[in-house]
A and B are shown apart, each in its own frame.
Chain A
Amino acid sequence: MTGNRLPERPGEVIDRGTSLAFTWNGQGYTGYQGDTIASALAASGVEVFARSMKYKRRRGIMTADHWDPNLFVQVGDEPNVRAGSRCLVAGMEVSAQNVWPSLKFDVGAVNQMVGRFLTSGFYYKTFMRPKWFWHNVYQKVLRKFAPGGRIFWESSTHGAYDKRYAHPDVLVAGGGPAGMGAAIAAAEAGASVMLVEHEPELGGHLRWGDAADLAALAELTSAVEAHPGIEVVIDSTVTGRYDHNWMAVVQRSHEIAPERLIKARAASLVVAPGLIERPYVFAGNDTPGVMLSGAVRRLINLWAVKPGTRAVVLSANPEGDAAIADLEAAGVEIVAALDARAGEDIVEVEGRGRVDKVVLGDGRTVSADLVVIGIGWTAPTSLLNMAGDRPVYDPSAARYFPNQLPDGVLATGGITGNGTTDELVAHGRATGSLAASRALRSRHDRRVLAARARNPEGPKPEFLQDTRTPLARVPHPECYRSSTHGMVDLSEDVSSKDLVQASKEGFDSIELMKRYTTVTMGPSQGKLETVNASAVLAEARNMDMVDIGTTVWRPPYAPISLGALAGRIFEPIRRSALQDWHEAHGASPLLAGQWVRPDHYGDPVGEARNVRQNVGIIDVTPLGKLDLRGPDVTKLLELVYVNKWQKLDIGRVRYGTMVAEDGVVSDDGVTGRLGENHYLMTTTSSGAGAVWEMLEDYLQTYRPEWDVHVTAVTGGLTSINVAGPKCRELLLRLVEGVDLSPEAFPYFHVRRGSVAGVADCIIWRIGFTGELSYELHVPSGHALHVWESLLANGEDLGVRPFGVESQRILRLEKGHYIVGQDTDGLTKAPSAGLGGLVKLDKPDTLGLPELKAAYARTDLPMLVAIQPDDPQVVPMEAAQIVDGDSNRILGRITSSRMSPTLGRSVCLGQVDPSLAAAGTKVTILLIDGRRVTGTVQEHHAHVDPEGVRQNA
């Protein structure tokens, strides 16, 4: 099936030696290497590609490029593929998407049935009432109408996506003659250049031009390729421009990812997107066989596809005239060549599924199967708007032009005016030189700022004024709508009639009209239809186009897949020096913040029991550790902790809680004094970074006169907690230089000594589990040796590693709360049950006024220990505590576990102060709707509230 393929064309991009087999709706087809899906199907005689969104009208090729409003197809498991630009690949399974009821079936009847629902504002008018109708009827009907393809989220074969960061001096958006000229000149001036081209090859409109165009293209391409300072990125679009020239470039084909996001910071942005051809509004303008002049020229000259046999051409410009020549060369009979500049016009196209008859402005009706429209251009000013420009409409040239741009953004090419190829290249070159000089000045500034020591490479380049000769604005007639009504937005099925109606209903500003009718809100995002919509509104309101304006262009200019936005995650994963050992010994991984940790080694309950009975060891390296030195450390501790720190002797450890300036509990941990001016602070694992930054903040901005030096040593020291009644016996075998006897080394003290031959370990007697326990901080390079020595020397004592889950069980038995789990963003110090720990008589501590206010209140929730009365019931964490009669929420369970030590469930929870007294019965609402009762306990600790075990 090569019925429409022409003999070889001079600029064709297909390789006739490489046939590619593919399927379309299950039937076999072939195309050539270099074809797009659309060109291959058109070459095989396919005319209808899709059904339109609302009215389910047949749709074919309109622009034959990325912006073709209806060429969305399913390719394998990938939905919404743009057939106008996606290159054909052998074996592709292509199908039309959601063509309910079918691509061929005539849906005239359906249309009449639903058509009355689908006028302007139908979303707002039809689906409002009655409410139950939404779920039961509207949603189901709308789903049938939705034009998207199918997703296969469970079996996607798309692989990994990726992203990249780039820092070119100059980024050129658009690789036509002006953009290529700009890239060459900028590179010659010494700038590094990224040249981004939307199509799979450089050249812009030269690619489908005449022999002179092709010769100019060859020359420009070789100049670009020859310059090492230019990186060419094809099949890619600059889809967003943000502050300080931060650009998002979507790269659609890349060897390692189906789509890649390039985040580029450029000193200068050159905007050279060319022009987008605009459709014409008339009755039947969406019938397959109605194409823009660019579409037929691309089909004929790039892919050697004959777009029809008998054509009516409406032209208002030289490009439209050139289409006539191309059609003739392709053997298409020109039934009528209408000159819009002389007032000739098309009134209506008739035909179902393909153009059949055309009613001309002079009243004649001719038969034809192709209508070619070349009536004008839209300036895609999107990137300029994103840079703050408000382009201005020029009626004499019938399009918008750039107005005022910041120094770092320059426009060139068709978007700024008209010219011959030479004139476009010259303007591009002048723009490139200007862009480079501004970029090199900025590079100089950057180097001066980056480091005083670095060489800024000579004097600062001079600021060049913009002395470019502007391109001419060639007069062009304003052709927007014929005497009939037709489609304005072919993606959203919005007609000019709909717009006129909306204007009459009062939605007569372009932005209101957009929301009301959804015009410009489809996949085309205004590129084809926004100016026609303004023109229809101007006509309806009898106003000038200049006063109507357009809808705002916002990023993304070209669509981007969610996969590319997610890209590769650059967040590093932190592993302790022991994580390899944990994984080799069956640890189940737990992701906690940036860290991967051993959750358990297969038996969390058994591991917990072993700590209570024998001895266990756990890797607690993620615990934040800050080494504090200097004569003013005590002042810092007094400031950031709620308790007092003046009388901490060397060798002592103290527990402290931190609150933020709003009085909310923010972190907790212990700090020990290792020397006269030397302390080690520990923080929660999740708060390690934030506490460090907070200390630096107060030291740098609030008390810069204090002499304190903070060093984060979280990863440098591997932390091992050795816990259980036999832990002292185990450590006696390995520790040298420290008297471990309870009298010499009591609870909440710190010593330094060697462990398993590793000198200078910090050993402190504290613990989260409620058992006798020691925490070892070992230089990480020796951590594995210490860990393995503990296991090897304690076999007879029953030593076993335990994971985070066991630790959570043990700490809950002991009633220790976790900041962020048992407290939340509203938990003020009194709620956490800190009681006497908080000292309000200090002159300065974080959140002091809030603390004072909080302690004056009696209505704050309280953290209490709760035991369900049925010992086998473990309420889910976050289960609500409610008033048994009114169901008013009075609190929630914050932590819950089955306690292996007690053989019953244990909880911590936040409750209304009226329920906080020991012995109070509370009603807990389970997730399955059952209500159970629980009893508030006297102490937070369920096990050993007197602390006999830890003080042993």
Chain B
Amino acid sequence: MIVVNCPNCGPRNSSDLRPCGELTPRPDPSTASLSEWRTYLYLRENPAGWVTETWYCRNGCRRYFTIQRNTATNEIRDSEAP
């Protein structure tokens, strides 16, 4: 279980939070093609290395924030509120 730093609550067990996955911008639904939409829904880069992730401070301040996490080592860098 990794420790994630919430910008409001400080370091927390990841079980206190909900991982929301790689930060993926939502396309404009009125213009996006179905293929673009499904890329947004299902396809992720999933690199073995640094990735920007969204987390939700579910048992704390209930803010969504992003962190940089190295998926190979679980090293974590600066967290910030969106």
- Contact residues of A with B, CB < 8 Å? 242-244, 246, 265, 446, 449-451, 661-662, 693, 696-697, 700-702, 704, 843-845, 847-850, 853
Contact = CB atoms under 8 A, between A and B. Distances in A.
A244 B3 contact: yes
A243 B64 contact: no
Interface in B13-28: 13, 18, 20, 26, 28
A243 B10 contact: no
Given A696-B62, A850-B34, 6 more contacts: A244-B74, A246-B3, A701-B54, A702-B26, A849-B32, A853-B34
Interface in B22-79: 26, 28-30, 32-34, 37, 40-41, 54, 56, 58, 62-64, 74
Interface residues of B, number: 28
Contacts of B37: 849-850
A355 B24 CA distance: 70
B64 A449 contact: no
B9 A450 contact: yes
Contacts of A450: 9-11
A843 B82 contact: no
A446 B11 contact: yes
Contacts of A662: 41
A246 B29 CA distance: 42
B5 A449 contact: yes
Nearest to A692: B62
B44 to A, nearest CB: 14
Contact of A849 (B2, B29, B58, B82): B29
Contact of B64 (A265, A701, A850): A701
A265 B3 contact: yes
Contact of A844 (B5, B18, B29, B41): B29
Contacts of A845: 29
Contacts of A849: 29, 32-34, 37
A696 B64 CA distance: 8
Contact of A446 (B10, B26, B30, B74): B10
Contacts of B26: 661, 702
B82 A848 contact: no
Interface of B: 1-3, 5, 9-11, 13, 18, 20, 26, 28-30, 32-34, 37, 40-41, 54, 56, 58, 62-64, 74, 82
Most chain-A CB neighbours within 10 Å: which of B9, B11, B29?
A: B29
Nearest to A853: B34
30 contacts: A243-B2, A243-B74, A246-B2, A446-B11, A449-B5, A449-B11, A450-B10, A451-B9, A451-B10, A661-B41, A662-B41, A693-B18, A693-B56, A696-B56, A696-B62, A697-B20, A697-B56, A697-B64, A700-B63, A700-B82, A701-B54, A701-B82, A702-B26, A844-B29, A844-B30, A849-B32, A849-B33, A849-B37, A850-B34, A853-B34
A243 B29 contact: no
Contacts of A246: 1-3
A370 B64 CA distance: 67
A850 B11 CA distance: 38
Contacts of A449: 5, 10-11
Contact of A704 (B11, B56, B82): B82
A853 B74 CA distance: 39
Contacts of A243: 1-2, 74
What 10 A-B pairs come out closest when comparing CB atoms? A450-B10, A848-B29, A849-B37, A449-B10, A243-B74, A244-B3, A700-B64, A246-B1, A243-B2, A843-B30
B30 A848 contact: yes
Contacts of B40: 661
B32 to A, nearest CB: 6
Contacts of B64: 696-697, 700-701
Contacts of B41: 661-662
Most chain-B CB neighbours within 10 Å: which of A244, A848, A850, A853?
A: A244
Contacts of B34: 849-850, 853
Nearest to A242: B1
A696 B28 CA distance: 19
A949 B1 CA distance: 55
A446 B54 CA distance: 21
B75 to A, nearest CB: 10
Contacts of A244: 1-3, 74
A704 B82 CA distance: 9
B71 to A, nearest CB: 11
Contacts of A844: 28-30
Contacts of B29: 843-845, 847-849
A389 to B, nearest CB: 14
A446 B63 CA distance: 19
A265 B32 CA distance: 45
Contacts of B2: 243-244, 246
Contacts of A853: 34
A243 B34 CA distance: 39
A693 B58 contact: yes
Contacts of B63: 700
A406 to B, nearest CB: 9
Contacts of B30: 843-844, 848
B23 to A, nearest CB: 9
Contacts of A661: 26, 40-41
A702 B41 CA distance: 15
Nearest to B6: A449
A848 B20 CA distance: 21
A693 B9 CA distance: 18
A513 B33 CA distance: 52
A848 B31 CA distance: 10
Contacts of B56: 693, 696-697
A145 to B, nearest CB: 38
A662 B10 CA distance: 34
Contacts of A697: 20, 56, 64
B6 to A, nearest CB: 9
Nearest to B33: A849
B25 to A, nearest CB: 10
Nearest to A697: B64
A847 B29 CA distance: 8
A847 B3 CA distance: 33
A850 B32 CA distance: 11
A691 to B, nearest CB: 14
B82 to A, nearest CB: 5
A120 to B, nearest CB: 36
A243 B71 CA distance: 12
A849 B42 CA distance: 14
Contacts of A696: 56, 62, 64
Contacts of B54: 701
Nearest to B36: A849
Nearest to A851: B29
A265 B37 CA distance: 41
A235 to B, nearest CB: 25
B13 A265 contact: yes
Contacts of A693: 18, 56, 58
A280 B11 CA distance: 48
A223 to B, nearest CB: 32
Most chain-B CB neighbours within 10 Å: which of A242, A265, A697, A701?
A: A701
A701 B33 CA distance: 22
